[in-house]
Amino acid sequence: MTTQKALIPLPAPIARIATATGAAVALAGTFLPWTWTSEFPGDLTVTGYPGGLQILTLTAAILTLLFTLCGYGIRGLRWLTPGGTNSPVRLLALATLGTTGYTIGAIAYELGGVVNLEPGAWVSGIGALIAFLAALGLPSDEPLPADGPPANAWQRFRNSLAAPSVGRAKPLPGWGEILIITAAFAVALYVFTYCIDIPTEESEQFIGFLITAGFTFTALTRAGIIARITALTTKHRNVTLIAALVAAFCFPFTQDTAEFTLIGANILIFATVALGLNVVVGLAGLLDLGYVAFLGVGAYTAALVSGAPLSAIGVQFPFWAAVLTGAAVSLIFGVLIGAPTLRLRGDYLAIVTLGFGEIFRVTVNNLNGNSGPDLTNGSQGIPSIPDLNLFGIDFGLSHDIGPFTLSRPANYYLLLLVVTAVVVLVFRRSGDSRIGRAWVAIREDETAATAMGINAFRLKLLAFALGATLAGLAGTVQSHVSYTVTPEQYQFAGPVPPNSAFLLAAVILGGMGTLSGPFIGAALLYLIPAKLQFMQDYQLLLFGIALILLMRFRPEGLIADRRKQLEFHENDEPVLVPEPRQPEEADAGITKAGA
């Protein structure tokens, strides 16, 4: 193995100093005006107070400076870079340049030319460019084989962004590990809140956020921080679940408007249903393309028994009874659909489940009193579903808790959080059980699992029924949140999630078989269409392109389990990275091969 030279012939110490200088210049430019008019979203006209997209450039520049300092082997910062220092610096410098360049281009495009740029934009742009070019002069963290043909420019660039696998970290005390987990979820809550609070009309700021967040996440992955935090959360699973629930519980208390809280509630519905689908697809390996129909079964059942004025049944169950009824009806449908079809495999099973989803939508559309019995009010749906009243609390009214005011969406968000906790508990317990291990065996090789004595049909039916029950459970709350249920809400693919295609994509994007993956996938797939409404006509095109890129560069998903990582990266050579002792060793990119 040989250490690859830098893309730009520049001594490593000089490249590191130039990178830090460029990042500092880009940081300083955010405190100067970037344009003269406040017509551009975010008000970039104030001196000494960054706003809008300036904050994103400021954040990326600070991270670039921090990781550049890590390259000097400072003892307190070594924990941040177990996978190497130079690759994260390059990616963060690229994030700074990308966000700043996009902002400059957006200002010039929307305001009519570069004449609308103030000196601060040029200062940050030049600083970001210097930082990125200097970062290309840093040695690569990833060595190249000594034999074989010389790498071309593209291969050298890709290799310069790669990082070796993470070596064994120094053990931390238990309280320190718990503190790191808590800090990680606090940062995640802040980033999520910042993303949701971006106004819908300020799409420029949201695109800038995606650029910064995407490169920053990749940089943290290359640095090995994500792997270390994942190892800590795996070690302290109960602490992680408690921290996640506390962070999610705090979200509605950070919101001042009901609009953004409603987005959070809808994301929670989407994520909960995606986690239920993860039982079917991620654990058991059953490709279900009509899963949203079970959500519709639970929603329609709750609407019919919750006292809606246009309900054909005309009864009003208490909420706990409506929840049990919706989950039970979804369970029955899951068994009725799964029993005759789960003897099929692969594409054939996918086609059957797709047909079931379309049959459900067409059926509830025809139960209007003309084409069929008057049960669902046809295409008009069942509107005016009354708000819940639990323990004397009217969920349709705002409530004051100390200095905080919880709006109607916040009330339902907290209720959905309880439902999500139940679904998480069921998923975790079933995945760790003997049945969960049997599901994984069926997913990997059904023939081999059957030969080992596993009753594949019975266990697949159990997974199908459990997934349907969890979807029906979420559907009972969704019907009250949205006030009405209509057939158009439960399509295979549509402009607004949840639908079957987006639910499946959320599972694949986040990571099949994982607990946190569907939540991340659902949040991304719901937020992006909600914030970038001007791209609604091209939504499916962009959705397809994103899936192609995902399958090409990260087929295991954003949060992949160990088995998927081994499956998709079985040919990768493991590399053990020691802690750098001297700055010269860190700059030279010294690595050590190991098993």
Instruction: Compute the residue count for the chain.
Output: 595
The reported pLDDT for the residue numbered 587 is 38
Kindly state the tokens that stand for 136. 């290309």
Residue 368 has a CB neighbour count (10 Å cut-off) of 16
Kindly state the tokens that stand for 316. 């009003």
Helix axes 174-196, 237-250, angle to 10 degrees: 30
In this prediction the pTM is: 0.81
Is the CATH number of domain 265-396+419-561 2.40.50? Answer: no
Q: Given a cut of 80, is residue 143 above it in pLDDT?
A: no
The reported pLDDT for the residue numbered 146 is 52
Q: Which helix (H) or strand (E) holds 393?
A: strand 393-394
Judge contact between 7 and 157, C-beta under 8 A: yes
Q: Which helix (H) or strand (E) holds 479?
A: helix 456-481
Nearest to 423 by CA among 366, 374, 470, 370: 470
Residue 575: phi, psi to the nearest 5?
-130, 135
Q: Does residue 36 sit in helix, strand or coil?
A: coil
Q: Does residue 401 sit in helix, strand or coil?
A: strand
Cα–Cα distance for residue pair 519/267, rounded to 1 Å: 8
Helix axes 53-70, 119-135, angle to 10 degrees: 30
The reported pLDDT for the residue numbered 59 is 93
3-state helix, strand, coil in the chain (%, to 5): 65, 5, 30
Which DSSP symbol is given to 5? P
74 confidence band (pLDDT: 50, 70, 90): low
First to last CA, the chain: 15
For the stretch 47-64, pLDDT in tens is 888 888 999 999 999 999
Q: Given a cut of 70, is residue 254 above it in pLDDT?
A: yes
Among 73-87, 182-196, 231-245, 313-327, whose mean pLDDT is lowest? 73-87
The reported pLDDT for the residue numbered 578 is 38
Dihedral angle, C-alpha 358, 359, 363, 364, nearest 10 °:
-40
The reported pLDDT for the residue numbered 77 is 60
Judge contact between 325 and 447, C-beta under 8 A: no
For the stretch 98-109, pLDDT in tens is 999 999 999 998
The reported pLDDT for the residue numbered 592 is 35
Cα–Cα distance for residue pair 498/257, rounded to 1 Å: 23
DSSP letters for 416-478: HHHHHHHHHHHHHHHHHSHHHHHHHHHHH-HHHHHHTT--HHHHHHHHHHHHHHHHHHHHHHH
For the stretch 414-443, pLDDT in tens is 888 988 888 888 888 888 888 888 888 888
Q: Given a cut of 60, is residue 584 above it in pLDDT?
A: no
571 confidence band (pLDDT: 50, 70, 90): low
The reported pLDDT for the residue numbered 75 is 58
588 confidence band (pLDDT: 50, 70, 90): very low
Nearest to 227 by CA among 565, 513, 481, 505: 565
The reported pLDDT for the residue numbered 280 is 87
Which distant-in-sequence residues (6+ apart) come within 8 Å of 510 by Cβ?
274, 516, 517, 518, 519, 520, 521, 522, 557, 558, 559
The reported pLDDT for the residue numbered 129 is 94
Cα–Cα distance for residue pair 72/302, rounded to 1 Å: 61
Residue 423 has a CB neighbour count (10 Å cut-off) of 23
How do the domains of the chain map onto residue ranges? Answer: 12-175+572-593, 265-396+419-561
For the stretch 322-381, pLDDT in tens is 889 989 999 998 888 888 888 877 778 888 888 888 888 888 888 877 777 778 887 788
